[in-house]
Amino acid sequence: MAANGPTLELRSQRVVLPSASGDYVVAPACITIEGTTITAVDRVNDPRPSSPGAAVHDFGDRLLTPAFVNGHVHLAMSAFRGLGGVEATRGNVVEDLYYTLERALSPADIRAFVRVGAYESLLAGVGFVWEHYYGGTALAEGLADTGLAGVVAPTLQDLEGPGVGGLDDALAATESIAHSSSLREQGIYAALGPHATDTVSDRTWRQVADIAARLGLPIHAHVAQSFEEFNRVWERAGTTPVGLLAQTGVLAGSNMLLVHGLYLSKADLERLDPSRHTLGFCPFSQLQFGFCADAAGWSEAGLPWCVATDCAASNDSMNLQKELRLVAGDRGLSTRYSPAFNRFLTTANLDQARAVQHHRSQAFTRHRQLATPAFLLSRVWDCPGSMHPQVKLGTIEPGALANLLVWDPQHPSMWPMHDPLAALAMGDTCAAIESMMVAGRFIGGLGGLQQIARGPDYRDARVEADRRLRDLLERLGLGPR
């Protein structure tokens, strides 16, 4: 629903719009925005006269697109970037390192760290995040401080993890965010955030499902993300993580975002409903803490999935474009680890080389869709933008949240722009973003996105985050030696 505010009209000769075929088209358009919401899109060269009193911005041949949607983040964990080094990822880095840090965090620490992660996200063209972390309302406050919009899921745990003992407070924070009209006006919504199937009891999973149904909220959880999770669930319930959710009845209810899915079988995928269940794929993060999930297999099973960065602690970057390039390259990765290539390594001859090339050709044909720019962009636009029943985004159409990017096609990273969609899906083009709108407001003012990291708000946020991080590490004996 549009909030009260001035009417804006954004015009350009190059606007990325949804097409009737489910793809995208680049066409001249006039976008009308009232408050936080797009209310009209005129796809004509000469749109109707401006509305009386409307503020009109004509961007000429600048490219207008939806802002990116990051389908799974822990923004506060930007403070942990680089801690532990490579050795920390040998085992279960979440339990072996991050839990120690997270048990020592205060809500004020979390809010301060979220701000810095939010600024990094904005500069990467991300206007909306699916946030899942400890801290309850501190998460939402951190987003609101910077202007970043998102869905906030306070982490719920009652079996294991830093959230044990704080379940009731986290549930209360979820309801508070869900009922806050001021947060909705800033594009901030709530989701239920059970941590994972091994850290949340069956009783709490059922409670979460009941609350989600009552409030009309989605459920955002890590599922089948590690061997440890799979092992604990199997020993506890004699089934897989997805099997446990089926046993408890959770799968039969609300919309669910199920993230990582490293240990998902074909039988698990058959349990999922594509009309309600979306999988979350964080490729670079998964390469750090485990291995890449079989997103191509998810597509073959007919299930929707979004692309996300996870956290800077396990990824080192909040740039979604980097993730898309890895998704596109996935069809070539299987050849390196195929039986055909292993045979070539030991008995290289023409027949073995021909077998390797045959495998490569088959893989490229089978997974062709994963490399098409429109498909890749849909993983960070309308797919994650349609996961919450209370808000639509990731698309330029009436009723959607007004989250937009204005790109300079003459920037070196986009020149020559033969194919705008390919430039966005396969390039490093964030420096070409001139303006960013989130929930109907220009971040840093019109044309000012690239300046926000040099502004007073960011400087103040960094000073506080630096101080709190230094204090945290000293308390835990992890500071500089």
Q: How far apart are CA 368 and CA 385, in angstroms?
A: 24
How deeply is 314 buried, as exposed, middle or buried, from its count of CB atoms within 10 A (0-12, 13-18, 19+)?
A: buried
Amino acid identity of residue 467, one-letter, is R
In percent, how much of the chain has pLDDT > 90? 83
Across 52-71, average pLDDT: 94
Q: How far apart are CA 328 and CA 368, in angstroms?
A: 9
186-195, 265-274, 364-373: which range is least confident on average?
Answer: 364-373
Q: Within a 10 A sphere around the Cβ of 387, how many other Cβ atoms?
A: 26
Provide the pairing of β-strand 7-18 with 24-34: antiparallel
| pLDDT, tens only, 215-249 | 999 999 999 999 999 999 999 999 999 999 999 99
Provide the pairing of β-strand 24-34 with 256-260: unpaired
Q: How far apart are CA 223 and CA 80, in angstroms?
A: 23
List the chain domain ranges: 7-66+394-447, 68-325, 333-368
Amino acid identity of residue 230, one-letter, is F
In 3D space, the residue among 167, 171, 19, 145 whose CA is nearest the CA of residue 75 turns out to be 145
Q: Rounded mean pLDDT of the chain?
A: 93
In this prediction, residue 3 carries a pLDDT of 45
- DSSP state, residue 38: E
Is residue 288 pLDDT above 90, yes or no? Answer: no
Provide the pairing of β-strand 256-260 with 219-223: parallel
Amino acid identity of residue 349, one-letter, is N
In this prediction, residue 479 carries a pLDDT of 65
In this prediction, residue 235 carries a pLDDT of 97
Across 62-87, average pLDDT: 90
| pLDDT, tens only, 9-42 | 999 999 999 998 889 999 999 999 999 999 999 9
In this prediction, residue 1 carries a pLDDT of 40
Name the one residue in this structure whose structure tokens are 């059970």. 194
* Local confidence band at 86 (pLDDT 50, 70, 90 cut-offs): low
Is residue 480 pLDDT above 90, yes or no? Answer: no
Q: How far apart are CA 431 and CA 437, in angstroms?
A: 16
* Local confidence band at 145 (pLDDT 50, 70, 90 cut-offs): very high
For residue 52, what are its two tokens? 């009386």
* Local confidence band at 85 (pLDDT 50, 70, 90 cut-offs): low
| pLDDT, tens only, 99-138 | 889 999 999 999 999 999 999 999 999 999 999 999 999 9
- Cβ atoms of 208 and 156 within 8 Å: the answer is yes
Q: For 68-325, give the CATH class.
A: alpha beta
Q: Which CATH superfamily is domain 7-66+394-447 in?
A: Urease, subunit C, domain 1 (2.30.40.10)
For residue 442, what are its two tokens? 């220009």
In this prediction, residue 481 carries a pLDDT of 47
